[in-house]
Structure 1
Amino acid sequence: MTVVAGVDGCPAGWIAVLRDLADGTATVRVVARLADLIATDDPAMIAVDMPIGLPDVVGPGGRAPERLVRPKLGMRQSSVFSVPARAAVYAEDYPAACAAALARSDPPRRVSKQCFHLFPKMRELDGLLRARPDLVERVRESHPEVAFAVLAGAPVTLPKKVKSRPNPDGLDERRRFLAGRGYAWDFLAAPPPRGAGPDDLLDAAVCALVAERVLAGDAVSHPAPPERDGAGLPIAIWT
Structure 2
Amino acid sequence: MQDWVEIDPSIRLDQRTERKNESHQHWAIKAALIDRLRSNSAYVGEIDDERKTEDLIGDIRCKLSKSPSDVPKRFVIEVQTNRSDKDVVDATRRHLRFGFAVYWVYQVDAANKRREAEAALTKYMSAPPSLGVASLPEGELRLGSPITWDEFDMQSPKMSCNELYIPTYARSAQCFNHGVFKIDDQRFTIYRFLNREALYVSWHGSDGQQTLPQTSPWSWPELSQRLKEGELSRISPVAGRP
* Short-chain TM bin: under 0.3
Higher share in strand: 2
TM norm structure 1: 0.27
Higher share in helix: 1
Based on CA coordinates, which of the two structures has the bigger radius of gyration?
2
